[in-house]
């Protein structure tokens, strides 16, 4: 009964989210705005917004300041579907001042959830729980107990432990007794918007940092007799903020560990989860093996029984079952919607390079130092050594010899090369596009082919071998 009532009240209370992202990030020592630094392959602010996208918020207000234009355009481009708006905070006079800038665009009838642009791994369940704890009536804080609370705002309660929350005291303003408190404020809170605006209007900056502290709304709520509740984050990782390159690297590793654990849980065999990097999405069938030091970017799909050797970089690719990608292979699809395609039971690498537009059939072999760009290879085609296939359509079972290339670029335009089924291209051939080789034709090694070759023909286009019998090699003159 009670639960149903609570739920319907939640439904009536629209959620508006404010994300603070105006700070400079001085300790990053970088020209790039802090919230645009990447974690898991995307800007940290994009993680927060992706989480917000699942919260069914009425509006999402991002407070920008340092690097505002770059931050705003990057996020608009990534999240065209979100109810995003940006409010500038200039100059930056503290977290309370930041939220004050958003106040005019926040409707009074909602709950405001305040998040941080530099705390990227906050989970949706936790954010939802925080908004629910506010319940449209009270001030809810997200807290956590830390072994080392240095630098954080401490949660001061009545009595020793478990009493009512009375205030948040910033580290710099805290007494030695308060500094001993391990329960800290994570920087995230939820409040009834109308009350929040009232509390914000009364903020003062008479503190150690001469800033308008958002955290002072806690004491304001208490003064009005509004209850303040603290919910606790499940894991430290989801409330860790990024202020320095070392913290960025630490959180990156925690994210990678968590992603690796989830993949292994699903049955993926990672040779070493500590040497695995996923900067996007990886979808695996059963019995996938991934050796050490591989980097996956964009969206990658690996079919059942696929093997990825050590030190591969794979971005935007769909690899069919049983295919082996050997060590040091680089695969780079254009985008998640335009991946490189590799068929079943193919063998790629070691040291192969598949570029945008590469589409390989079943049982294709691409060997060492072979580059494939914007080309289709039908089933069973092979290019085993030192070759280039660009803008080419290659038929089934073609054998493309070592050192052969398609000369696809005339200095101004790109042209296509078409190679029929069962063609044999001898080593060190140059196929000057546009050119077409008929089914079953043979190209003599070392040929430069500029004219179409008929099916079944042998084309040889190179200087004839000349032999001069008894040739006397020149000798150095005596001195
Ligand atoms: C804040 C909290 C502190 C909490 C800690 C958790 C206050 C006063 N203190 O401290 O209790 O333990 O976070 O990490 O809120 N920002 C703006 N405009 C400003 C100032 C900051 O947008 O004028 C943004 C920053 O970009 C950042 C966030 O607000 O995303 C937090 O600011 P920061 O300066 O890191 O606050 P802390 O001192 O860490
Ligand atoms: Mg901070």
Instruction: Confirm if 402 and 387 have CB atoms less than 8 A apart.
Output: yes
Largest CA distance in the chain: 113
Give yes or no for residue 7 having a pLDDT over 90. Answer: no
Q: Which ligand sits closest to the CA of 170?
A: 1
Instruction: Name the burial class of residue 243, with classes exposed (0-12), middle (13-18) and buried (19+) by CB atoms within 10 angstroms of its CB.
Output: middle
Residue 24 pLDDT level (bands cut at 50, 70, 90): confident
DSSP bridge partners of 113? 17, 190
Higher-confidence position of 345 and 2: 345
How many Cα atoms are found within 13 Å in the side-chain-facing hemisphere of 224?
15
Q: How far is the CA of 128 from the centre of ligand 2 (A)?
A: 22
Q: Residue 202: name the closest of 190, 186, 219, 179 by CA.
A: 219
Report percent pLDDT > 90 for the chain: 95
**Which of 20, 64, 95, 241 to probe ligand 1 with, by most ligand atoms within 8 A of CB?**
95
Instruction: Confirm if 332 and 325 have CB atoms less than 8 A apart.
Output: no
Residues 213 and 205: their CA atoms lie apart, in Å, by 7
Cα dihedral 208, 210, 213, 218 sign: positive
Q: What is the DSSP string of 251-296?
A: HHHHHHHHHHHHHHHTT-EES-GGGEEEEEEEEE-TT-EE-TTEEE
135-174 pLDDT, tens per residue? 999 999 999 999 999 999 999 999 866 789 999 999 999 9
Report percent pLDDT > 70 for the chain: 97
For tokens 């991946």, what's the residue? 339
**Which of 18, 21, 23, 217 to probe ligand 1 with, by most ligand atoms within 8 A of CB?**
23
Which atom of ligand 1 is least distant from the CA of 24? 26
Residues 208 and 173: their CA atoms lie apart, in Å, by 6
378-400 pLDDT, tens per residue? 999 999 999 999 999 999 999 99
Instruction: Confirm if 273 and 260 have CB atoms less than 8 A apart.
Output: yes
Q: Which ligand sits closest to the CA of 183?
A: 1
Q: What is the DSSP string of 363-384?
A: T-EEEEEEEEES-EE-TT-EEE
Q: Which ligand sits closest to the CA of 122?
A: 1
Q: Which domains does the chain have, with CATH numbers?
A: 2-239 (3.90.550.10), 245-459 (2.160.10.10)
Q: Residue 47: name the closest of 334, 255, 264 by CA.
A: 255
Instruction: Confirm if 342 and 364 have CB atoms less than 8 A apart.
Output: yes
What is the mean predicted confidence (pLDDT) over 358-377?
98
210-231 pLDDT, tens per residue? 999 999 999 999 999 999 999 9
Q: Which residues are catalytic?
A: 385
Q: How far is the CA of 103 from the centre of ligand 2 (A)?
A: 21
Instruction: Write the CB contacts of 418 (distance below 8 Å, at least 6 apart in sequence).
Output: 392, 393, 435, 436, 437
Helix axes 124-134, 44-52, angle to 10 degrees: 60
Query: Which residues line ligand 1 at a C-beta cut-off of 6 Å?
Result: 20-23, 63, 89, 92-95, 97-98, 116-118, 152-153, 168, 170, 184-187, 213-215, 241
188-199 pLDDT, tens per residue? 999 999 999 999
Higher-confidence position of 12 and 26: 26
Instruction: Confirm if 140 and 204 have CB atoms less than 8 A apart.
Output: no
**Which of 178, 187, 204 to probe ligand 1 with, by most ligand atoms within 8 A of CB?**
187
Residues 262 and 281: their CA atoms lie apart, in Å, by 12
For the entire predicted model, the pTM comes to 0.92
Which atom of ligand 1 is least distant from the CA of 92? 23
* Cα-based angle 449, 453, 459 (whole degrees, multiple of 5): 60
Instruction: Name the burial class of residue 11, with classes exposed (0-12), middle (13-18) and buried (19+) by CB atoms within 10 angstroms of its CB.
Output: exposed
Residue 256 pLDDT level (bands cut at 50, 70, 90): very high
Phi, psi of 305 (to 5 degrees): 75, 15
What is the mean predicted confidence (pLDDT) over 342-349?
98
Give yes or no for residue 8 having a pLDDT over 70. Answer: no
Q: What is the DSSP string of 78-124?
A: H-TTS-EEEEE-SS---HHHHHHHHGGGS-TTSEEEEEETT-TT--H
Q: Residue 142: name the closest of 173, 119, 158 by CA.
A: 119
Give yes or no for residue 11 having a pLDDT over 60. Answer: no
Measured CA distances, 236 to 47, 145, 186, 231 (Å) = 17, 9, 10, 13
Instruction: Write the CB contacts of 431 (distance below 8 Å, at least 6 apart in sequence).
Output: 392, 404, 405, 406, 407, 417, 419, 425, 437, 443, 449
| Average per-residue pLDDT for the chain | 95
Residue 303 pLDDT level (bands cut at 50, 70, 90): very high
Give yes or no for residue 127 having a pLDDT over 80. Answer: yes
Which atom of ligand 1 is least distant from the CA of 241? 14
Q: How far is the CA of 118 from the centre of ligand 1 (A)?
A: 9
Residues 317 and 286: their CA atoms lie apart, in Å, by 17
How far the first Cα of the chain sits from its last, in Å, is 113
Q: How far is the CA of 241 from the centre of ligand 2 (A)?
A: 6
Give yes or no for residue 281 having a pLDDT over 70. Answer: yes
Residues 117 and 109: their CA atoms lie apart, in Å, by 25
């Amino acid at each position: 009964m009670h639960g149903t009532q609570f739920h319907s009240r939640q439904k009536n209370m629209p959620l508006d989210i404010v994300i603070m992202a105006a700070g400079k990030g001085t300790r990053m020592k970088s020209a790039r705005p802090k919230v645009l630094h990447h974690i898991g392959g995307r800007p940290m602010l994009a993680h927060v917004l992706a989480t917000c996208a699942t919260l069914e918020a009425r509006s999402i207000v991002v407070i920008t300041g340092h690097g505002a234009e770059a931050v705003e355009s990057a996020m608009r481009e990534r999240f065209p579907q979100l109810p995003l708006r940006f409010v500038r905070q200039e100059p930056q006079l503290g977290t309370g001042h930041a939220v004050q800038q958003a106040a005019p665009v926040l409707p009074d009838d909602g709950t405001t959830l305040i998040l941080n642009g530099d705390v990227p791994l906050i989970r949706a369940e936790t954010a939802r729980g925080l908004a629910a704890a506010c319940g449209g009536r009270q001030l809810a804080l997200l807290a956590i107990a830390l072994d080392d609370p240095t630098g954080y705002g401490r949660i001061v309660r009545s009595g020793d432990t478990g009493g009512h929350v009375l205030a948040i005291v910033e580290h710099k303003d805290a007494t030695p007794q308060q500094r001993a408190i391990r329960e800290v404020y994570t920087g995230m809170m939820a409040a009834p918007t109308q009350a929040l605006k009232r509390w914000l209007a009364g903020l003062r900056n008479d503190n150690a940092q001469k800033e308008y502290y958002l955290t002072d709304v806690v004491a304001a709520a208490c003064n009005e007799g509004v209850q303040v509740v603290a919910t606790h984050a499940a894991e430290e990782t989801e409330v860790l903020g990024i202020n320095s390159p070392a913290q960025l690297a630490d959180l990156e590793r925690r994210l990678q560990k968590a992603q690796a654990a989830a993949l292994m849980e699903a049955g993926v065999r990672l040779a070493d989860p500590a040497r695995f990097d996923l900067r996007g999405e990886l979808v695996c069938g059963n019995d996938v093996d991934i050796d050490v030091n591989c980097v996956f970017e964009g969206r990658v799909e690996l079919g059942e029984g696929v093997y990825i050797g050590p030190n591969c970089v794979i971005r935007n690719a769909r690899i069919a079952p049983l295919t082996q990608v050997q060590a040091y292979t680089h695969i780079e699809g254009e985008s998640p919607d335009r991946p490189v395609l590799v068929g079943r039971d193919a063998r790629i690498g070691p040291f192969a390079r598949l570029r945008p537009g590469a589409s390989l059939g079943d049982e294709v072999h691409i060997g060492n130092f072979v580059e494939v760009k914007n080309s289709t290879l039908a089933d069973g085609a092979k290019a085993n050594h030192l070759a280039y296939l660009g803008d080419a359509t290659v038929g089934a079972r073609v054998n493309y010899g070592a050192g052969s290339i398609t000369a696809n670029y005339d200095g101004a335009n790109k042209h296509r090369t078409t190679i029929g089924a069962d063609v044999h291209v001898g080593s060190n051939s140059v196929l000057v596009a546009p050119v077409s080789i008929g089914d079953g034709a043979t190209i003599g090694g070392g040929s430069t082919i500029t004219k179409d070759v008929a099916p079944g023909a042998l084309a040889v286009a190179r200087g004839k071998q000349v032999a001069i019998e008894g040739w006397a090699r020149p000798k150095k003159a005596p001195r």
